Amino acid sequence: MSALPRADPCEPPSGSMIVFTDLDGTLLGHHTYAFDAALPALKALQNRGIPLIIATSKTIPEVERLRRRLHNRHPYIVENGAALVIPQGYFSGGTDSESESEYESILLSSPYETLRAKLCQWRADHGFRFEGFGDWDASTISKHTELPLEDARLAGERVGSEPLLWHDSETALAQFRALLEKEGLRLIKGGRFDHVIGETNKARACRKLLKLYHTHQSVTPRVVALGDSPNDLEMLQLADDAVVIRRHDGSYMPYTGDNRVTHTEKIGPAGWNEALQEILGSGVVEIRG
């Protein structure tokens, strides 16, 4: 996997555009997890100072590792909106959130330990047949995700969501969903797993971040969002420009929305590059303040 040239430390953008992106199957290849095919558009965003906001099902340590390769210093969203992570000092005045050593983390879901306790209790009480990351060691996570062992270990370091594989009937799934709803939780479909999470999603975290940009800059930039799975749907719907990335099997996720939408011809990061090059070349800049 290639790396981008090192960039100077980034300040929040001056206002023209912001890009939210999913990772797996979108910016990263579905099987390879590489972003080489997206390098031209990544460099164009970097050169123009346009923030690239990662919004992913991955964990904080997974994204931190990738951000170092991308030289990305902007906020990011993890675990399908379970938390919004902001580098220390990115916004002057702070965010009234829990402080970490290098970033501020705003938890938007129930804590992971609370989720796991509920899931294990329901499995024992109702006999549901499913497996989650909390049931697996790093080697098993690696097997199910195709990640290298160290990356799989990082994928297990969760703060507010649980990916799982459902092995039970549709009737049992309906019962499971009803229990989740009663507890203020939800089940969302990702590219490889179902994800149990609190009453949040990528779109909620995106809106919270956009509000912070507006507070500190008094402008709302043109929003571009790219994704390939149902867990990206609400994020794409809130954008001015939605980009549905063609999947590795040639299909597209179903999309409904009244915003501008592009379906890429190319797959994964090649499609990501294709769409953003076209958007950046359009010369359209909208600032709504």
* Domain range annotation of the chain: 17-108+201-288, 112-198
User: Which pLDDT band, with edges at 50, 70 and 90, does 168 fall under?
Assistant: very high
137 is catalytic: no
User: Which pLDDT band, with edges at 50, 70 and 90, does 89 fall under?
Assistant: confident
Rounded to whole angstroms, the Cα distance separating 24 from 26 reads 5
Q: What is the pLDDT of residue 240?
A: 96
Catalytic residue (choose from 8, 22, 125, 258) = 22
Q: Are strands 220-227 and 161-166 parallel, antiparallel or unpaired?
A: unpaired
Say what angle helices 112-126 and 170-182 make with each other, to 10 degrees: 130
17-108+201-288 and 112-198 share one fold: no
CA angle 94, 99, 100 (to 5 degrees): 125
- Is the pLDDT assigned to residue 8 strictly greater than 80? no
CB-CB contact of 17 with 46 (8 Å): no
- Is the pLDDT assigned to residue 61 strictly greater than 70? yes
Select the more confidently predicted residue: 287 or 37.
Answer: 37
Select the more confidently predicted residue: 6 or 187.
Answer: 187
pLDDT tens-place string over residues 207-255:
999 999 988 877 778 999 999 998 899 999 999 999 999 999 999 999 9
Q: pTM of the predicted model, to two decimals?
A: 0.87
Rounded to whole angstroms, the Cα distance separating 93 from 207 reads 19
Rounded to whole angstroms, the Cα distance separating 28 from 271 reads 11
pLDDT tens-place string over residues 258-276:
999 999 999 999 999 999 9
Q: What is the pLDDT of residue 241?
A: 96
Tell me what the mean pLDDT of segment 179-194 comes to: 90
Which CATH number is associated with domain 17-108+201-288? 3.40.50.1000
Q: Which of 4-13, 24-33, 168-177, 231-240 has the lowest mean pLDDT?
A: 4-13
Q: Which residues of 15-47 are buried (b: 16+ CB within 10 A; e: fewer)?
A: bebbbbbbbbbbbbbbeebebebbeebbebbbe
Half-sphere exposure of 199 (CA within 13 A, CB side): 4
Half-sphere exposure of 163 (CA within 13 A, CB side): 22
The fraction of the chain above a pLDDT of 90, given in percent, is: 76
pLDDT tens-place string over residues 117-141:
999 999 999 999 999 999 999 999 9
- Is the pLDDT assigned to residue 284 strictly greater than 50? no
CA angle 135, 166, 147 (to 5 degrees): 55
According to CATH, the topology of domain 112-198 is: Threonyl-tRNA Synthetase; Chain A, domain 2 (3.30.980)
Phi-psi region of 225 (alpha: psi -120 to 50; beta: other; left: phi over 0): beta
Select the more confidently predicted residue: 17 or 12.
Answer: 17
